[in-house]
Chains A and B, each alone.
Chain A
Amino acid sequence: MSSVLSVKNLTKTFPSGDRTITVLDNVSFDLSAGDTCAIVGPSGSGKTTLLGLSAGLDNPTSGSVMLCGYAIDSLSEDERAAVRSEHVGFIFQTFRLIPTLTALENVMVPAELRGRSHVGDEAREMLASVGLADRTHHYPAQLSGGEQQRVGIARAFINRPDILFADEPTGNLDADTGSSIEDLLFKLNATAGTALVIVTHNPSLARRANRILKLRRGAIELDELQQAASHVSQSA
């Protein structure tokens, strides 16, 4: 299997007064196409920072990230945006839909940013696949939290990304809705072959991933590979 994400010795520090805070400390891991990986850990352990750096949303202090064949830390802002547009999808805890666009238009955004036109039918299909065929012309404010997250998922998959980063995708949803969103994510992972990187506090969601990275104080405390029959653990 080819590697979609390769993180090597990633370190991120922030100045804070006279001190320097290390948020991520020498983190390394690789993901292959179709892999699913949950990043877990207590608040402040560096989960979101790791996700952001992996997706090219920020520059590391040291180390490197190879995303879908690109050394993203050496790319310009626009070049990184182009890589994200081509290969990456995102799902956010607070959905982050554009309030002035309808559900259908929200789904179309990544495709249109990529320069694709006439994607209306494709976006409708995506919405139908997440169970929102009848909500295409509703604005985000007219949708429930679960429905908004489904739109978020449809939007994330419209460009058939190689890898999808999800930041607490069920964090703002009730258990039932959260569970159906999880099902949807893993179903799309299975059918589209998209690698999933999920930051979560939810143990049951984490357990559905075939790899769990547990962070503590910016370092990988546990890198656990899960398989159907057996669990293989290896220390970081």
Chain B
Amino acid sequence: MLLYISSMIVGVAALVSINSFGDNLRQAIDAQAETLLGADLSFEGRTPFSDVIEAVIDSLGGEQSRRTSFASMAYFPATGDVRLSTIRGHEPGFPYYGEIETDPPEAGRSYITGRNALVDGTLMHQFNVSVGDSVRIGTVMYRVAGRLIQTPRETAAVMLFSPRIYVPLAELDKSLLQRGSRAEYEVYFRFRDGRDADAIVDELKPLLRAHNVRTDTVKEEKEGWDRSLSNLYRFLSLVGFMALILGSLGVASSIHVYIRQRIQTVAILRCFGAKAWSTFHIYLFQAIGMGLVGVTIGSALGFGIQALIPIVLGDFLPVDVAFSVSWSAIWLGAGIGMGVTILFALLPLLSVKDVSPLIAFRSELETDTHRPRSLFWWLINGIIALGIILFAVIQAPQPVVGVFYALGLFVVFGVLWIVARSMIILLRRHTPRNFPYVWRQGIANLYRPNNQTLIMTLALGLGTFLIATMLLAQQSLLKQISLVTDGDRPNLVFFDIQPDQVDGISRTLAEYDMPLIDSVPIVSMRITALNGETIESMRADSTRRLTWAHSREYRSTYRHGLTDSEELIEGVIVEAVSTNHEGLIPITVESDVAETLDLAVGDSVEFNVQGIAVRTEISGIRTVDWQRMQANFFFVFPSGVLEEAPQFNVVLTRASSEKIAAEVQSSVVQHFPNVSSIDISLVMNVFDAIFRRIAFVIQFMALFSIIAGLLVLSAAVFISRFQRMEESVLLKTLGASRSQILRIMLVEYSTLGLLAASTGLVLAIGAGWGLANFVFEVDFVLPVQYLLYLVLAELTLTIVVGFVNSRGVYERQPLEVLRSEV
């Protein structure tokens, strides 16, 4: 019953650890809610606050601390390296709650006075920067005062997208905040008088919205995190759910084997007058007793694993999660574990009830498995299905989600089962008869009586499926990113270039023999009215639902015609208008945003182009291939309108190597400190780093499944130990050498590993293809080499676990085993 207990241990341990961690996380979020925001209230805008808002800020009083953030190139003179980073200029005060964790610790407080910077750890590691080195942002040089570890409102994972650099707001190079540059202006409040920040927000909402100012309070921030974390929790619950179901399948499987081995005993008991239900109860109580042992060990183990989860998920969490005992999680895990175990044990136990006393005399009756299913059989199956749904509902954040979990699980296991079973049948029926004997015997061993091949294939296959799907999705996306810059396409973009800097950038590119593939002017604007109806009036109308497309800031361009990533699907393109054009300006709109804004050809759109109203008419609708590495736009104006508006340029070029890309970026940053750049290798690196962290989490999940599979394998090999000894001895008696017997075992375990890996791979290829085509909309890539590594790893694990559990099988003397029957 080792298999039975170990299956339960894995399932219960997963459940207890995940539920306990969930409880700890919720407690941590509640306890540290204020540090999530770092203040009681914040205002955020994309432009400097208007006079009206400044007056509001002034009237609110309390303690205030401002922050301005924008993207800019950070230049490290010691190495000459540059990297696009998020620069945050802080005033003293923030954060009012929690603290900026740094190394050395005092830097989080001291950096705010003087030209000091706190630099993200990843960036420091990447460029080998030490505390005391310099970093230049714009024209200002800062001393690196410390390494950023954790700060309110930012997780380590977010920092991967764009590394953070904190500097004092007073020491910021203000030229980097010229009109047209993307920046975020924030003010943080702390009210020591206990004012209700949410009430303030409710009161000011209409005014703030009208001025495009967003707000955040501790409650809103907490709700936001609760939403994100419920997704995380949903994901973790799924892990627990699958681990327990795998464990339960192990339970059903081991009870089946246990009962098959005791049929003779049951038959003898029946001969001596034991009632059918009495024998059933004997074994049910045994199963419950062993279940209790499994639940106890599983809960203890789960308690230990719980401490590991924050290590795995730490980068995605906003708070430090303290480790504490969650008795409710332990009781819930143990209760659900016990319940599911009994349910899954009932089905194989039912056969005890049907054991005929005749079997004591004629053991061949044992093989009669073609009896019609009894009412109890159907009843227990129904209870199992209901039990799984109930369990899923308890485990999921919402009941509906739980039902979907259960349905999803039935589908995943159903498909895995079909694939695994088909492969097993295929192998059995189509193993070539001219294969060498050792091969045929090894493969045939997978079908020995009471074998666990299917359950092992399922459990190991599920682990492979998870890991391989992740790998396939990652590779397809990476391939896509590298594809978009193949050939002569741009792979390096400079942006935030002022119009008078374009020539200088061109010259710098020419020095490095790099082409100026495109130079695109960009003008920031917001929509103020659609077909004569203002966004403000739409906002005031509670029956209207505004989308991101109504309120966002648009970066538009002006040019003649279409680029090669665009296609006109409706209307016409007006290439240019005269500078004294009267009436509506004909513009084109991207098809998706047209749909969101409900715009058609002929509709009018009014923009606020940095203070000036520009009235336009949709003359055409375009589709855009957004996957191309080039400047694409929602709205495109004809030439002759925006030339005089405040603007910046984007320049696209192509570097022949990463080294040249780094050199040219460094040179541009030194000559034009306000210009930022991004190259494809950076995108790839960021993407790769993020994927690696997500993959780590998924692998952790897959680990449960693989451990369950290997446990089933260990136990199955252990259970069939005597059978294996008999086989080994028989073969020795018939003249088999040690090497032949070991080779038979090798074939058996490698076939099992291959079966499991193939089952997982078949599904993963399907899922990866689906993800690539329907979710990411990229070409599906089959990274054969990586998949081979995965198969090899699984194969090795299976073989090692198989052999470890089979040790000593060969050493038995033939006569010992022969005598066991005499």
Contact = CB atoms under 8 A, between A and B. Distances in A.
B440 A105 contact: yes
Contacts of A114: 735
B92 interface: no
B444 A101 contact: yes
Nearest to B730: A96
Contacts of A77: 732, 738
Contact of A57 (B440, B731, B739, B818): B818
Given A58-B814, A100-B447, A120 B730 contact: no
A98 B736 contact: no
A101 B445 CA distance: 9
Contacts of B740: 113
Given A52-B818, A101-B444, A108 B734 contact: no
A167 B737 contact: no
A55 B734 CA distance: 11
B592 interface: no
B734 A100 contact: no
A49 interface: yes
Interface in B396-452: 433, 436-437, 440-441, 444-449
Interface string B720-763: 00000011001111111111100000000000000000000000
Interface string A70-84: 000000011001101
Given A90-B734, A98-B727, A52 B821 contact: no
B818 A167 contact: yes
A34 interface: no
Contact of B735 (A48, A85, A108): A85
Nearest to B816: A58
Contact of B815 (A57, A93, A109): A57
B818 A81 contact: no
B735 A113 contact: yes
Majority DSSP secondary structure for residues of A touching B: helix
A81 B822 contact: no
Nearest to B723: A99
Interface string B795-822: 0000000000000000001110011011
Contacts of A221: none
A58 B813 contact: yes
A86 interface: yes
Majority DSSP secondary structure for residues of B touching A: helix
A120 to B, nearest CB: 7
Interface in B99-151: none
Interface in B435-491: 436-437, 440-441, 444-449
Nearest to B811: A77
A112 interface: yes
B367 interface: yes
A113 B444 contact: no
A52 B814 contact: yes
B821 A90 contact: no
Contact of B734 (A93, A113, A141): A113
Interface string A87-121: 01010111010111100010011101110010010
Given A52-B815, A92-B818, A167-B818, A98 B735 contact: no
B733 A98 contact: no
Interface string A127-147: 000000000000001000000
Most buried by B among A48, A100, A110, A117: A100
Most buried by B among A85, A94, A114, A117: A85
A117 B432 CA distance: 14
A84 B815 contact: no
Contact of B736 (A81, A141, A155): A81
Contact of A48 (B448, B736, B739, B819): B819
A22 B613 CA distance: 113
Contacts of A167: 818, 822
Nearest to B740: A113
B734 A109 contact: yes
A30 B436 CA distance: 38
Nearest to B821: A94
Contacts of A82: 735, 737
Contacts of B441: 98, 100-101, 109
B447 A81 contact: no
Given A81-B735, A113-B734, A100 B815 contact: no
A26 B740 CA distance: 35
A86 B735 contact: yes
Contacts of A99: 448-449
Given A57-B814, A100-B447, A101-B444, A108 B737 contact: no
Contacts of A113: 437, 731, 734-736, 740
A134 B278 CA distance: 45
Contacts of A48: 815, 818-819, 822
A78 B446 CA distance: 26
A90 B819 CA distance: 14
B811 to A, nearest CB: 9
Nearest to A142: B367
Contacts of A155: 734
Contacts of B822: 48, 93, 167-168
Interface in B50-66: none
A56 to B, nearest CB: 9
Given A52-B819, A90-B733, 17 more contacts: A49-B819, A52-B818, A57-B733, A78-B739, A82-B735, A84-B733, A85-B736, A93-B822, A100-B444, A109-B437, A109-B734, A113-B731, A113-B736, A114-B735, A117-B436, A141-B367, A167-B822
15 contacts: A48-B818, A78-B738, A86-B735, A90-B733, A93-B822, A94-B821, A98-B444, A100-B441, A100-B447, A101-B441, A105-B440, A105-B444, A109-B731, A113-B734, A167-B822
Interface of A: 48-49, 52-53, 55, 57-58, 77-78, 81-82, 84-86, 88, 90, 92-94, 96, 98-101, 105, 108-110, 112-114, 117, 120, 141, 155, 167-168
The 8 closest A-B CB pairs, nearest first, are A85-B735, A112-B437, A52-B815, A100-B444, A57-B814, A58-B815, A84-B735, A57-B815
